[in-house]
Structure 1
Amino acid sequence: MTHSFAAPSRSAGRRPGRTLPWGLLRELDRPSDLFRHLGPNWFASVMGTGITANAAATLPVHAPGLRTAATAVWALAALLLVALTAAWGVHWTRHREQARAHADHPVAAYFWGAPAMALITVGAGSLSLGSDWIGPHAALGVDAVLWTAGTVLGLVTAVWIPYRVMTGTGVPADAAFGGWLMPVVPPMVSAATGAALVPHLAPGQGRLILLLGCYAMFGISLFASVVIITQIWGRLVRHGIGPAAMVPTLWIVLGPLGQSVTAANLLGNVAHLALPHPDAAAAQAFGFLYGVPTWGFAMMWLALAASVTARTLRTGLPFSLTWWSFTFPAGTCVTGTSALAVHLGSTPLKVAAVALYGLLVAAWLTVAARTAAHSARGGLFKPAQAPAPAPGPPAPATGAR
């Protein structure tokens, strides 16, 4: 998997020029090149940091200092979102050709779903954690704005990227990989986090529209994900694991699974605010009836992904931004497990939620530290080629390399 998805720089092969003090960005030809190949996959770092904070707020157990630490991590995610958005603005202003090429790249195009989920994740954290620091009124306003922006962008990517694939030149039989899920998962994230906004609307059509809209987005993402996960399973069975650099993307499958369990239960909890009693009771029961079987499959996939990752680590797993795939999907398993534990009052599920959160924190600390180190040297800002066999192009090759 690439670090930054783009065509090779025109300065490739040039002798390194002057760098910043203390060797910062020393692997770049010039410091300004950090904006040249800034792909949408960078927003996965916001997703992973945000879910690490948000998942702590959902845990069915409470530990001293955990909420304060989680709020600090949420604030870090918010700062990362602001910084990356500003940097991406520079990228689009100065390097428009490379920015447009991301939509034609055989890997980067699918990661257009990351900015939408980054917005929604930080917005959800503002309501569940940030209200302690910025006040409930401001937190609600931030969440409403970011949720709306992320939802609109996510609905666009859920149609736009699959459309480019379907109207492009076709993909090889062994092309399916976890990244295919990235553009279609944002509506599920909107559904799960939109549940927290339902009580803040006045009773009536507003609440009903939001609730039904969240359930509709639940369906958009669920059925698209089932189709894609089936293809990923088929590719793994017929063609094997593939390049080591692609292994972290196996964890992305956990994203729609865990997030759908979260959404089904959280929407069921607020359904009574907009639906008559029989329908609300059915919605709440659906959270359990759908959630437990899906959670079981998610745990099976977690075991498979962990086993493949451990096997690959023994032979060498190169670091790249795809390592952030270890964080957000695992975080959705935490929120889904916590939602089921609260719904059912299950002690084993409470233990599982805490254990999964421990895994999430360990993954986030590891990936965040490596990202910071590689970013300081500048290596993550350099373009690289997608590994072979690479997933087929989502559109006619205009700008893809």
Structure 2
Amino acid sequence: MAVSLRQTGTGTTRLRRGPLRDLDHPARVFALLGPNWFASVMGTGIVANAAVTLPLQFTGFRVAATVVWALAALLLVGLSAAWLVHWIRHPATAKGHSGHPGMAQFWGAPPMALTTVGTGTLLLGKDWIGLDAAVTVDVILWTAGAVLGIATTVWIPFRMMTGFELGIGNVFAAWLMPVVPPMVSAATGALLVPHVPEGEAQRTLLFACYAMFGISLFATLCVLPQIWQRLVLRKTGTLTNTPTVWIVLGPLGQSVTAANLLADAAQPVLGDPYAKAADAFGLLYGVPAFGFALIWLALATALTVRAFRNRLPFALTWWSFTFPLGTVVTGASTLDARVHTGLFAVTACVLYAALVGAWATVAVRTVRNGYRGRLFTESVAVGEPPER
């Protein structure tokens, strides 16, 4: 690797050029690798998955979406391998992530990354590997993501209730991260229902998805008022944390998506009157929840514009601009599929264009800072120190 020389007051310092030049040693790339990195898989995967649901399609669109899915799959494999190395070489740091009140929240990212890539395999990957193989991959990834997601929904809140000293100053939107995975599993599991054996297997999967819908929905209703209170009383906190306000869109948009996809899955499985009730719930829950999602989108956009005016620095929290927005796109698309109104169709397409722009911006910045090694020097200081 090429080096250059820099004269300092105490002598000459050798400076590396090329990749990872901001690190003391290339192996340090694994030293601080936290679960928050899996947000990049989520953000990339939702770009592909949301494309399939859009009411507007054109030539080459599906192929492009499939390429993005493949990129998300490669990211998942690469990050999983790197995270394994991190656990082997730096076990104390790896365990410390779950003991940090900020970074612990991002344990919700790996299960959502698994289910997102699994769904992309079923929706898009089947064009390359065949339907049977795609269903098998999705079943494996969905099952792993669902189990791990339920675990984080219990484990991280338990740690917060028993091991962390927290106050209103510690509340930030990433508190939703550990409890959103079951909602993602509910939405993606609905797509698997037609591919499992008819009868008891389909009913079991459908009811499990509805149960996970409830788990995440009621947990979100517990956390969301605290986030609102924090933003009103203590503002957004550090600039780096500002993008996390977009995370609130995740459970909102995903719940709309889940309610409507589950309604579709329930039609041949449950029969009337429950199938009609599920269909009505998808619409009557989905529209009000989507309305609140749009209001939060406006608030998040205003807060983000304000942060950019104050020179918002780049950090991995920027990936919060992607997956949550993608769930609002899929929510709008599922509502359009149910009622076929131009309102939801136009909203889905406009927000998808914004999603692609956000993803491209964040991806380029991640590659640039990752190439230099700067991103791998970030500490676990996400959130704010406990109040005294």
Same fold (TM over 0.5): yes
1:168 is displaced (CA, Å) by 1.7
Residue number in structure 2 paired with 1:45: 40
The alpha-carbon deviation at position 276 of structure 1 amounts to 2.6
Q: 1:16 to 1:306 in 2, by over 3 A?
A: farther
Structure 2 counterpart of 1:260 = 255
Q: Give the Å deviation of 1:106.
A: 2.3
The separation in 2 between residues aligned to 1:240 and 1:263, in whole angstroms, is 31
1:220-273 per-residue CA deviation (whole Å, 9 max, x = no partner) reads 000111111110001111112211111000000000000000000000011022
| CA shift for structure 1 position 325 | 0.2
**In structure 1, C-alpha distance between the alignment counterparts of 2:374 and 2:77, rounded to whole Å:** 22
Q: Which residue number in structure 2 is paired with residue 342 of structure 1?
A: 337
- Separation (CA, whole Å) in 2 of partners of 1:280 and 1:16: 71
TM-fit CA distance, 1:116? 0.3
* Contact 2:102 2:380 survives alignment (8 Å): no
Q: Measure the CA separation in 2 of the matches of 1:219 and 1:17.
A: 57
Match of residue 184, structure 1, among 179, 182, 195: 179
Pick aligned residue for 1:316 from 311, 319, 329: 311
- 1:114-125 aligned within 5 A: 114-125=109-120
What is the SS of the residue equivalent to 2:270? coil
Aligned partner of 2:138 in structure 1 is 143
* % identity of equivalent residues: 59
TM-score, normalised to structure 1, is 0.92
- Equivalenced residues, count: 377
Match of 2:323 among 321, 324, 328: 328
Matched, 1:381 2:376: yes
User: Quick one: distance in 2 between partners of 1:228 and 1:391?
Assistant: 18
* Deviation larger for 281-290 or 195-204: 195-204
Aligned to 1:109: 104
Offset at residue 80 of structure 1 (A): 0.3
The SS at the match of 2:141 is helix
Q: Deviations over 1:52-107 (max 9, x none)?
A: 00000010111221110000000000000000000011111111111101001121
CA contact (8 A) 1:187 1:217 kept: yes
- Does structure 2 retain, via aligned residues, the 8 Å contact 1:16–1:27? no
SS in 2 for 1:184: coil
Q: Is the Cα contact below 8 Å between 2:53 and 2:330 reproduced in 1?
A: yes
Q: Is the 8 A contact 1:17 1:30 kept in 2?
A: no
**Cα offsets for 1:338-383 (capped at 9, x unmatched):** 0001101111110000000001000000000000000000000013
The aligned counterpart of 1:160 is: 155
Deviations 1:6-38 (A, max 9, x none): xxxxxxxxx98775xx51100000000001110
Which stretches of structure 1, 4 residues or more, deviate above 4 A after TM superposition? 15-19
Correspondences of 1:17-96 after superposition (within 5 Å): 19=16, 23-96=18-91
| 1:368 maps onto 2:352 in alignment | no
User: 1:242 pairs with 237, 242, 248, which one?
Assistant: 237
Whole-angstrom distance in 2 between the partners of 1:275 and 1:125: 26
Residues 230, 345 of structure 1: alpha-carbon distance in 2 compared, 3 angstrom cutoff: same
Q: 1:125 to 1:285 in 2, by over 3 A?
A: same
2:8 is aligned to none
Q: CA RMSD in A?
A: 1.5
Contact 1:243 1:387 in 2 (8 A): no
One-letter code aligned to 2:295: M
Using the TM superposition, give the Cα deviation of residue 305 of structure 1 relative to its aligned residue in structure 2, in angstroms.
0.3
Q: Tell me, yes or no, if structure 1 residue 294 matches structure 2 residue 289.
A: yes
1:179-198, Cα deviation, whole Å (9 max, x unpaired):
10000000000000001110
Q: Greater shift after overlay, 136-145 or 169-178? A: 169-178
Residue of structure 2 equivalent to 1:174: 169
For 1:179 and 1:391, the matched residues in 2 are separated by 16
CA contact 1:40–1:115 (8 Å) conserved in 2: yes
Structure 2: unaligned runs, 5 residues or longer: 1-11
Partner-residue secondary structure (3-state), 1:202: coil
Residue 183 of structure 2 corresponds to residue 199 of structure 1: no
Counterpart residue identity of residue 306, structure 1 = T
Give 1:255's aligned amino acid: G
Amino acid corresponding to residue 324 of structure 2 in structure 1: P
Measure, in 2, the Cα distance between the counterparts of 1:273 and 1:390.
51
User: Relative contact order: is structure 1 or structure 2 higher (C-alpha 8 Å, sep ≥ 6)?
Assistant: 1
Contact 2:102 2:382 in 1 (8 A): no
Counterpart mapping for 1:221-240 below 5 A: 221-240=216-235
- Three-state SS of the structure 1 residue aligned to 2:168 is coil
Whole-Å separation in 2 of the counterparts to 1:268 and 1:117: 22
Deviations 1:263-313 (A, max 9, x none): 000000110222131101100110000000000000000000000100110
